[in-house]
Structure 1
Amino acid sequence: MNRNRRRHLIILGAVAFALCLLIASFGHRYATAGYLDEAAARGSNTLGLAVTALRGQLARYEKLPELIADDPDIKQLVANPQDRTKVDEINLFLKQINSLLESSDIYVMLTDGVTLAASNFDQSPTFIGENFSYRPYFSDALDGGKGRFFALGTTSFKRGYYFGAPIVTDQRVSGVVVFKVDIDAIESSWRGSDYEIIVTDPEGIVFMSGRQDWLFTAIQPLTPDRLARTVATRRYANAELRELPVVRSQSQDGHDLLTITGAEGQRQYLAVTELMPEADWTVKVLLDTASVRTQVLTTIAALVLLVALGAMGFAVWLERRARLAERLQVQREAQEELEQRVAERTADLADVNQLLQAEVAERRATERVLRKTQSDLVQAGKLAALGQMAAALSHEFNQPLAATRTYADNAAQFIERGRLDEAGDAVQRIASLTERMASISRHLRNFARKPNEKLGPVLLDDIVNATLEIVGWRLKAADAALTLDLGSEPLWVKAGTVRLQQVLVNVISNAADAIEGTKDRTITLSAQRAEPDKISITVRDHGPGVPEAIAGRIFDPFFTTKGVGKGLGLGLSISYNIAKDFGGTLSVEQHHEGGTIATIILQEDEASSSREAAE
């Protein structure tokens, strides 16, 4: 299969290479012909515009010499050439006409070719007194026809087109009127384009071009005959004539090509030509074929790239097809091998099944033993938890029992004194504390992280008041002053009533223990909204604070800094876990001004707060 694939790829590469050669050979020829046709069409449009502009410029002045020659004052001047007053008058007249018509020069010549009056009479050099009898426009007009000639002025050394008209008096030619037209404005519009426009005379000499270095150069050989005719008319005065280094050729479809060598090197141009017989001119538009060659090369490269991509795509398709065939073959072989293995495995499984049945019976017996062991471990865990609860109950009941003892002593004294109402009130307080201890006992059982009291909205003011009833005796014993700041609006938190009271009792009791015997025995309890949907409760004392060495262990169970018999070290640990059950946090830190600050962050009950605000 690999050999067939290699043979197919070699054939495909050979076909692609042959197509690329055909494209490079025939495609280059046809692409060149097509782009040259497009360039020739653009050149024809440009040529038409240039010829139209030239013809329009010449037609503008064509009839003017005859009008001037028919003027009576002009005829009177050539009849009396010695009249200096008339000469001065005509000079001014010609100057005004020349300025009005925006021509180059206007002058009047006698039959001997001498200029009698001119529009540039007051300039230097002036045409007055000059003899231009050698110019064809003079001889043609003197014969009674129309003089037409393009030349470089022998006096002004400026190029111009000359119109001559005869001055007829008494049915004979007595002089000639000549108009010289400047065409530099047309020539300047040809510069800066992506093509070149040249105008040549009958001898093939360039006298108009957008490129100044091509002026007075010949695109045809300067033979002695051509030079003699040019010298006879003094068309280019004393200008140096030279041949332009040009090589003529033709494309395969007949387009004229000119290869011109210049300072920038050789450049090939496509030439589009049109004759102007009325002026005896030849106008050519030269388009650089570099852009045509670039387009041809781009087209050929695109076609070759297209063929290469097609061949590559076909090769990829062949490769994928071959790989798919190999994959299918491998899958068939794998399926046969799999079926054989399945048959072998089935036989093995039958043997293993018998062994598994015996093992299952053995595992069932083991499972019965494990269940009995697990039941024993659960019972052991219950006994351990019971011991932990007993320690917690001992710690938590110390405070309400002390309060109960105080109320009981007061009740006995009230009874002795006959103050039965006050004794009854003390007994009711004892009953309330007893119920509170029962509630605490129920909730201390949740220390094992399985609380059964559901969370709900709790008004913080009620919790604080109930807490102060329990810890009042402790604050009094420590001679502590408690400052409350619960804000102007009621604060509702999401918690359990008894467990939150338990947390506050523990924290306030710890604060009382910390300030006992100190100079500043003030405890501050405050609450406010700490952040959106959160309530912050802080208890700050002015005691010695939490040493840094034990800060990390303060929430550990059974860890205490109090003396023997003064605490079991469970208060903060239980409070920390209760705060977590509420979805909040409890932290104890050293205050920067001294003492300790305990911060309880709880979730605010928004529904109760909104209802309270509405009422």
Structure 2
Amino acid sequence: MAVALAFYGSSFASRAYLDQAASRGKTTLRLAVAALQGQLNRFEPLPSLIADNDDIKDLLADPGNPELRARGNAYLRQINALLQSSDIYVIGPDGETIIASNFDRPISFVGENFSYRPYFQDAIEGKRGRFFALGTTSLKRGYYFSAPVRVGSAIRGVVVFKVEVDAIEASWLGGDDEIIVTDPEGIIFMAERPEWLYSSLLPLTPDRLARTAASRRYATATLRELPITRSSFGDRLPLMTVNFESQRSEYLVLSEAMPDAGWTISVLLDTRSAHTQALITVTVALLALGLAALAGFVFLQRRARLAERLLLQRNAQAELERRVDERTHDLALVNTRLETEVTERRATEQQLRQTQADLIQAGKLAALGQMSAALSHEFNQPLAAVKTYADNAAVLIDRERAAEARDNVARISSLADRMASISRHLRNFARKPNEKLGPVDLAEVIRDTQEIVAWRLKAADATLTVDLGRAPLTVKAGSVRLQQVLVNIITNAADAVEGLPDRRIELVAKRRAGKVAISVRDHGPGIAEAIAERIFDPFFSTKGVGKGLGLGLSISYNIVKDFGGDLAVLNHPEGGALFTIELDAARSGVREAAE
């Protein structure tokens, strides 16, 4: 059975795959013929159009005119570049080329005589000429179209249009099939394989050689016979075996004639693929037969093992369910522990925030304690002045000097306002903040800060200069807490410059790409490198015992971080410490001048 399947199956499969290849080849052949015919039809009417040009007719009427020659050469070169053809040239009645598109190239047709070409002979007789050949001057293959130039009723010359076939031939490369074009003598004119060019599929008899030589179709190319052997498969599929350069290849041949062009286009399909597929098909069939027998044996064996596998699966499923129950119990315990840890961490975090708020308030109260002595002096002076102005006002009233008495009363009112302002700012400074973040007017915060630190600046004999720029600045923060940060930094700056020759403190605020940077620089000794990394640590202080808790900068750092900003310190290149607060800019309710 296997032998019969191999013998008859091989023949049947080969016929089937060759039929498939023939069907595919017919499609390829139709596409190749259509492409060639379309390419030729595209250029065929162009010589007649060029022959109707008045400059061409004037030139043939006066072929020796240099101006008309120059104009004609330029015109042909322009048309040739536009149409992307190979060459265009005009021939006189004697067969000599007068002008050409390649007039300025090393190989030019100007002066060449082409009277032997059939396309010239047809056109000079008043017909349209078509001819394909290897150029005798350019040695390039091309298809020639020609048309007569009529001046009145006389034919004065011929316009020739040459189209190279290399581009068409290049489009065939990479395909599975071989495409060749042969002339009426059976000589290959176009092929994917360059080594097959100018080889003949028919015997090169003297008559064929003579006809080819008369038109000089192939110039100086050497013609030879391609060693082939023709046969058929099943008396209906033509085959051709090519023995070329020690290689033997069998092809299925499909051909179609192009009478207008004088060509025959053939598609050669390599039969190795069909024979290989047939062999694979028969082999697969034999393997399938063997596998079928093997499958029967395996099926019987598998039925015996199936029951065993089902039992094992049931046992494995029971074990898996037991393990899943254990893992579920373990996960439940882990989840309970995690929930407990989360609750404890939340309580710890809440306690930490409360501690942080208490530390901030403690720092503020400590600062208020340090300010109390100086503020008592600040209040005593206005109170003494109020008493003096009041006594003077009473005397002036008794003396009926009402204008001077009114001036003293106004001074008393002014001093009372100042004391109320100082008291209000201290009250706000000492209050625990519960405000939400929002737009804060930086100028207003700095103005309130100046009133609070005025006593410390006066005590240190320091001066504070403020530069907020021209445009109003608004930041995203809390007003009271931002004021506390600025009080801490400016007070530390006053401590740093106290007793030094240069006691200037500079506050500068600028907008930087959606941020507002507030820098406070003193002219003191700066920050020692050994303590720079600890400057924001809680309870770290460089002041003497009793002069500070070491919480001011730590509290300020945390406040700025709560605002979503950043607080940094470095030593200024020209001396002193430079603290920089960077906060997000916020849109204020008042339009800026630049808007």
TM-score scaled by length of structure 1:
0.48
Structure of greater Rg:
1
TM-score scaled by length of structure 2:
0.49
